[in-house]
Amino acid sequence: MDLEFLQSMEVQILVGVGVAVLAILVAAAYLFSSRKPKGCLDPENFREFKLVKRQQLSHNVAKFTFELPTPTSVLGLPIGQHISCRGKDSQGEEVIKPYTPTTLDSDVGHFELVIKMYPQGRMSHHFRELRVGDYLAVKGPK
């Protein structure tokens, strides 16, 4: 193969610039594709998430599955952190309590909470009353 054309300084600069631009584009594509998706949580404000499934596990324990905004959304909760859930007790007063979801960010489109409901629990009352289609106010991470 005849590479004499590479002996010209202008051609060498052009080839060098072309290789550098190609390297930058490949690096940018890699960084963009490997970027972690932004979570749906807001640490300052409560956001509403729709209950899409409720599965009774025992007489006082249920698994609640909540829908995220899109099928590819993630909750965005770092390991070791929890969320704050807001509801109403049996007297209609606001209650806020921390919970840790049983799902990870690799579970896209939804998150789950496994809740033990106590007879006199203030937030337990709210979870007992939740039906599919209702919304839960959540903020975090905490």
For the segment 33-74, what is each residue's pLDDT rounded down to a tens digit?
Answer: 555 557 899 999 999 999 999 999 999 999 999 999 999 999
List residues forming the annotated binding site for FAD.
Answer: 98-99, 114, 116, 123-124
List residues forming the annotated binding site.
Answer: 98-99, 114, 116, 123-124
User: What's the pLDDT score for residue 4?
Assistant: 61
> Exposed e or buried b for every residue in 87-115, given b needs 16+ CB within 10 A?
beeeeeeebebebebebebeebebbbbeb
Q: What percent of the chain has pLDDT over 90?
A: 68
User: What's the pLDDT score for residue 102?
Assistant: 94
Helix (H) or strand (E) holding 21: helix 9-34
Is the model more confident about 90 or about 7?
90
User: What's the pLDDT score for residue 30?
Assistant: 62
69 within 8 A of 135, measured Cβ to Cβ = no
pTM of the model: 0.74
Beta strand 61-67 with 110-116: parallel, antiparallel or unpaired? Answer: antiparallel
Residue 79 has pLDDT above 70, yes or no: yes
Q: What is the mean pLDDT of residues 19-30?
A: 70
Q: What is the mean pLDDT of residues 74-92?
A: 93
